[in-house]
Every structure is written in C-alpha cells, then in structure tokens.
A and B are shown apart, each in its own frame.
Chain A
Amino acid sequence: MSIFVDENTKVIVQGLTGGQGRFHGLRNRDYGTKVVGGVTPGKGGTDVDGIPVFDTVAEAVAATGATASFVVVPPRFAADAIIEAAQGGITFIVCITEGIPAHDEAVTYNRLVEEFPGVRLLGPNCPGIISPGKCNIGITSGDIALAGGPVGIVSRSGTLTYQALYELSSQGIGQTTCVGIGGDPVPGTNFIDCLAAFEADPETKAVMMIGEIGGSEEERAAEWITTHMTKPVVSYVAGVTAPPGRKMGHAGAIISGSKGTAQAKMEALAAAGVHVCQNPTEAGEKMVEIVKALALG
C-alpha cells in the first residue's frame, strides 16, 4: 500500500500550459501517473500533448473524475488556485509553488480547515509526493524512487527528499510513499500527518524523516513518535552548521535564539527513540541496516 496517492489517483494540473507545468505534468504522466487534465483559465478546449485543458477546476473534475490536483502556478495566484481546487471537488492538493506570502498561506490553510475539512493540502513550496510505481505528483524525478516498500519517507526539504530516495534506492531499498511536506511557515500537511499515515499503512515497515532547522515541527513530531509510533524511524536534520539568525532560503529555515536549532531537534528526536544520523548518507545506511534486520526478524 501507499499513503495519500496510489495507482488509481486521477490528477489534474493547474498551470499545465505553463513552462514548469508542462514539463513536470508530462513527466508525471510518463511515470505512469493518471494525469487526466489541465486547468488554465482561457485555454479550455485546447490540450497539452493530448491532455485536455479546461478553464476551471470544476469543469475538469466533472469531465475527468479527478480527485487530486497538482498546483504549479506563480506565487501571487497560488492561494486562489488552491481554494479553487477545493471548491471544484479536489480532495488532495499538491502545491509546489515557492514564494507565497506567509499571510496568504495562513488564510488559505484556515479556509481549507474550516470550509473544506476533507481536503488535504501538501505544500506549498514542496517537491510533491511519489508512491513509487504508482503515482508521482510534483517535481520529484521518478527514476530515483524504487517501488515495493517497505520504507516511507517524509521530508521538509525538497532536494533532501531526492537525496533520501537516492540513498535508499541505490541500496536496493524501496519506498511505499515519499512525501515532501515543504519548508514554508504554514504547511498544509505536517510530519505528524505523514507519520500517522505511515504508522497505519501495513506495508510501511519503517520511516525516514528529514527535518531542518527552524520552527518546532520536528520537536512536535518527536512527541508524537514517543506516544504513537511503533515503527522504527530514522532521522536526519539539516543545518547543524548553519549560522543563527539568517534565513536559509526556506521561510522556515531560520534559527532564532536557541529555538529551532538542529541540535535541539536531534536531541528531541533521539529522546523519542528515533535513530538520529549526521548526514543523508549515514541515514540511508542506518535504514538499510534496519530494513535488513526487519527482514530477518
């Protein structure tokens, strides 16, 4: 099994006619994802390499039965696109857009919670989600993932998500699902959402969690793991050597005072019984060891 998306998930791409939308939308389809439509206002009736384009999400959903959307539009339009997806009947929204104002994210998140409680938003500013061999929504290169499980991956950083996939796949360890939750201040889906889904998924036997400096999501995840998680978790937190008080690209990746340091996060995770590693390669090696032990057990 996989979490959130699988081989039956039908996906539309909001922004399919743009450069990034076309490139990644078509790559997702080439991977085997059921990309059934695109949405660009004013371009309804056209197509992108055979994928029909609609003016609105509602039209696209009515025509295709899609339940998931891949939002790849510029920052100033992203919040509206997310709400339009929810209004149009989409229940799983992946938004990769980087650079959305934090206040827009806060409003969008709270609108979704209040008006569309059944809708899950992944991102913004995330690489997306891949259930290897089944469905890839977002910008992750499908060839670095390996189908068949048994590891679930959840990561705050985009490129480190790829790194984690690579470390496992190159050792012959497959993944059930790999979720990039993104590094923005108001992520629609957090570590705990993913850990809970992996804990409930029978095919996921162990979880790799990649965190980074800033915020307190890793610490909160550590608390949750202490009380709820029975499966082994391997973790790496980026930014041990990052100087405090400077923004490291992600809105989230900033340390203020002693809060949110990599050290504090690693200590919290270690205290929760998580295998805390010093770099992505070490995390990959640790996971290989764990998976082999599980297979023997």
Chain B
Amino acid sequence: MDLFEYQGKQYFARYGIPVSPGGVADTVEQAVAVASEVGYPVVVKAQVKVGGRGKAGGVKLAANEDELRGHAGNILGLDIKGHVVKRLWIERSSDIAREYYASFTLDRPNKKHLGMLSAQGGVEIEVVAEENPDAIAMLSIDPLRGLDLAAARAWVDEASLDEAAREQAAALLVRLYECYTKGDCDLAEVNPLILTPDGRVHALDAKVTLDENASFRHPEWEEFRATETEDPREKMAKEKGLNYIGLDGDVGIIANGAGLAMSTLDVVNQVGGSAANFLDIGGGANADVMAAALEVIHSDPKVKSIFVNIFGGITRVDEVAKGVLEALSRVTITAPIVLRLDGTNAVEGRAILAAHLSDTLITEPTMLDAARRAVALAKA
C-alpha cells in the first residue's frame, strides 16, 4: 500500500524522524486554518500518489493568506496525470541549503536490505543512478544486524554529506531504518532530505510503501486504508479477499494464482482478445470466494464473456464449481461463462457442473481452447 506524502510524514514522525510542521486540508478554509497555525510562508502540496507534482503545478509557495487562498483553490480539483487532487498538505516553508536523498528497500538478489544515500538529492534518483552512479552510496544491511549509529556515520561520510549535516543525518538514518523495518515498509524514501541554512536536517518529502502482508501487526494502518481512493470494483473485490485489477478489455478473467491469472491475460491477448480485468482468487478459495469473484466481474458492464481458468492445487475444483452454481443462483449473469478446470478434485468439479452446462455455461478442455471460445463469445 502506497501512502500519501502526508501519511508518510506522519508515519516518519512516529519513529522520531524530523519533518516540517504542517497539516492536511480538504478545503481552502482548512488550508488557511493550518497555515495560521504553522506560520507563513507555507508550501501547498497536492496529495496524489503519482510523481511529477511540481511540474504539474501541484506544489506552490504562499507568502500570505491571499496567495494561499489562490494556490489552494487552484490545486484542489487539479488533475495530475489522471489523479484528481482532493487533499492538500500545508507545511511551513523551509529554507534549503542542501538537498540529499535517502532510502531503504529490499535488495532482492542479495536478500539483504539496501540503503541508498546521496548528496545529490531533490532530483529523480534514477537519473542520478544513470548519469553519476558514484554519487549514490549504497549500503548493504544484514537484516540480522540492522543499522547502528557507527555504521550510519561511516555511511554519511562515504556519501560526502556536508559536515554540518552528518551527525544529524546519521541519527535520522538509524530512525528511518527502524521505520522501514519495524514499520514493515517495502520502501521508505526521503527525497529531498534537507539541510537548512541554520544547520537542521529533516525530511522534506516522504515516500512510503507498506507491506500489506504485515497488516496483522499494524492496527494503525487502518486510517491509511480508509483514504485509499480505489476503483469501486477494486474496493468491492478487496473486501471479499480477491486480488482484482480493472483493465480495458471485454473478457472477464478469473483465475487461481497470480501466475496463472497473468498467463490467462497473455493467452487471451494472443488469441486476439483483451482482458477486462486481472482477478486472482488466491490459493484455497472456497465456493463463497468464487461466487464473489463472479459477482465482481458481473458488475463490470464492459464484460461480454467470462473466462474462468482454474488449475487446482490448494484450490479445490469442486469448491470452484459449487461457487459458480451459487453465483448463478444469486445473480443473473448474462455474459457467457467459459470454464477450464484442472487439478485438485477436477473430476468432482466437472461432475458438479455437468448437469448445468448450456450455451452460457461452457467448459473447454484446455486453456487455449477456453481462451479462443471466450474471445469469440465476447466478439459475437
């Protein structure tokens, strides 16, 4: 789950990482109230989960209330790469002497954590990595040992941060690492991390991605979840424990397992069709889950046919078959359903469906046959 900047900053603050004083505002009046609390000048920042806000006019400096009203009014409702701004973060403007970059993420090939620190912050780190890779000090961190202050000090030296920033930056990095690990982040990134002319180091931005697998030990994430602006169908799917992503085509897809679901998309594409969605019912799905999946797909008016591609492992095909019948008894699904069923309890599953097969409930022996049939039906 990606956090908005303001949520990332609130998350940072929990771990003692210094951020600028500020607050959120959904209206111009709220923005004025926050600004009068933190003091002018303030920065008005659009809260959208997409890069390039500044260039799109989503970040503005306001020296006084008049300017703030103008900027806040303009930015609220602004469309930034398809993301409409509904919320602002208003914070006291910081004077900037230097801009750095810092982040922690998982180094998958090495199975350790990777810290990246650069004295050249404020720009896209990918560009720095491309043009001047030596400007990024990479630190491999053993998850069993973590990052202590001594290692962090050596790291800021290696990254050649300004002398005045080093001690504070080292302490901040230790806290950021703690936020990353204890806070179960997939990514904790600060860009820029700034040094002010009066010698203070703090996080001017926050990019945090949380590992949803760890949500069982983070009840505090509930408030982040509440603000997720999702496609209503994706939200409905999530509530039912399904992994659904809406796409543009007309063949509804239901598969078990991410790999098979992706492969199903690929095959539908190869036989000349296009998928309306990605939907993985996961491992071990029962009849209820299957019925819910069909209902989610059915709610998409673009869907002209539905391709259910199941290869049972932990998922039992008889449960899937029961779910299909249950869904059909609960809602009238007009789009024809093409099923391909193999794997665990496939024989039992096919037997359950046998008496119900019709022009709109069809089984095919292979994935390719089923894809062709579903695509043909969508075009009919």
A253 proximity list for chain B (CB < 8 A)? 258-259, 262
Tell me, yes or no, whether A1 is within 8 Å of chain B by CB. no
> Are A159 and B259 within 8 A (Cβ)?
yes
Complex alpha-carbon distance, A141 and B280, angstroms: 19
Q: Is the CB of A166 within 8 A of B213?
A: no
B-contacting residues, A138-175, CB 8 Å: 139-141, 144, 155-163, 166
Residue on A with the closest CB to B343? A141
Highest count of chain B CB atoms <10 Å: which of A163, A251, A253: A163
Does B226 belong to the interface (CB within 8 Å)? Answer: no
B314 touches A139 (CB 8 A): yes
Q: A106 and B112: CB pair below 8 A?
A: yes
> A273 an interface residue at 8 Å Cβ cutoff?
no
Shortest CB distance A151–B (Å): 18
Q: Which single residue of chain A is at the shortest CB-CB distance from B248?
A: A243
B91 interfacial contact with A, CB 8 Å: no
A interface residues, tally (CB under 8 Å): 64
Q: Which B residues from 97 to 111 make CB contacts under 8 A with A?
A: 106, 108-109, 111
Kindly state the separation between the CA atoms of A155 and B1 in the bound complex, as whole angstroms: 27
Residues of chain B within 8 A (CB-CB) of A239 are 262-263, 265-266
| CB nearest to A210 among chain B residues | B259
> A186 and B106 in contact (CB under 8 A), knowing A157-B257, A163-B260?
yes
Say whether B312 faces chain A, with CB atoms less than 8 Å apart: yes
B278 at the interface (CB under 8 A from A): yes
Which residues of B have CB within 8 Å of A118?
none
Residue numbers in A under 8 Å from B283 (CB-CB)? 96, 98, 139, 158
**Which of the segments B17-25, B166-174, B267-275, B355-363 contacts the partner chain?**
B267-275
8 Å CB contact of B343 from A100, A101, A144, A157: A144
Q: Is A183 an interface residue (CB 8 A)?
A: yes
Q: Does B149 contact A (CB under 8 A)?
A: no
Map CB proximity to A onto B294-320 as digits: 1 under 8 Å, 0 otherwise.
000000000000000001111000000
Tell me whether B266 and A278 are in contact (CB under 8 A): yes
Assembled-state Cα–Cα distance A162/B214 (Å)? 29
- B108 adjacent to A249 (CB under 8 Å): no
Q: How far is the CA of A29 from the CA of B261 in the complex (A)?
A: 30
Q: Is B367 interfacial (CB 8 A cutoff)?
A: yes
Contact for B262 among A24, A213, A215, CB less than 8 A:
A213
The answer to whether the Cβ of A110 comes within 8 Å of any Cβ in the partner chain is yes
With A248-B278, A253-B262 in contact, do A109 and B111 touch (Cβ < 8 Å)?
yes
B284 sits at the interface (CB 8 A)? yes
The residues of B that contact A104 with a CB separation of less than 8 Å are 214
**CB closest chain-A residue, reference B279:** A249
B364 in the interface, Cβ–Cβ < 8 Å? no
A163 surroundings in chain B (CB, below 8 A): 260, 263, 311, 367
**Contact: A279 with B263, CB < 8 Å?**
yes
CA distance A75 to B106 in the complex (A): 19
Instruction: Using CB atoms, name the residue of chain B closest to A113.
Output: B111
Measured CA separation A242–B262 after assembly (Å): 7
> How long is the Cα–Cα vector from A247 to B261 in the complex, in angstroms?
12
A 236-251 binary contact with B (CB < 8 Å = 1; else 0)? 1011111100111111
State whether B366 touches A103 (Cβ < 8 A): no
Interface contact A20-B284, CB-CB below 8 Å: yes
Q: Which residue of A lies closest to B312 (CB)?
A: A141
Q: Determine if A228 is an interface residue (Cβ-Cβ < 8 Å).
A: no
Closest to A213 in B: B262
- C-alpha gap A101/B263 in the complex (Å): 25
A239 to B262, CA, bound (A): 5
Instruction: Please give, as numbers and ranges, the residues of chain B lying within 8 Å of A246 by CB-CB distance.
Output: 245, 278
Q: Tell me, in angstroms, the Cα distance from A139 to B256 when the chains sit together.
A: 13
A289 at the interface (CB under 8 A from B): no
Is B250's beta carbon under 8 Å from chain A?
no
Q: Name the residue on A nearest B317 (C-beta).
A: A141
Q: Are B343 and A162 in contact (CB under 8 A)?
A: yes
**Shortest beta-carbon distance from B192 to chain A in Å:** 21
Partner of B367, one of A185, A236, A281: A281
Provide 23 A-B residue pairs closer than 8 Å at the C-beta atoms, listed in order of the A residue: A76-B216, A102-B186, A103-B143, A107-B143, A110-B112, A140-B313, A144-B343, A156-B259, A158-B257, A158-B314, A159-B259, A159-B343, A162-B313, A212-B259, A216-B108, A239-B263, A239-B265, A242-B262, A248-B262, A249-B280, A253-B258, A257-B126, A262-B266
Closest 7 CB pairs of A and B: A157-B259, A249-B258, A159-B257, A159-B260, A101-B214, A160-B259, A239-B262
Q: Which residues of A contact B (CB under 8 A)?
A: 20, 24, 27, 75-76, 96, 98-104, 106-107, 109-111, 114, 127, 139-141, 144, 155-163, 166, 183, 185-186, 210, 212-213, 215-217, 220, 236, 238-243, 246-251, 253, 257, 262, 278-281
Query: Can you add 12 more A-B contacts, CB < 8 Å, to A241-B269, A249-B280?
Result: A103-B211, A106-B143, A111-B144, A141-B313, A157-B259, A158-B259, A159-B257, A215-B108, A238-B259, A240-B266, A248-B280, A250-B258
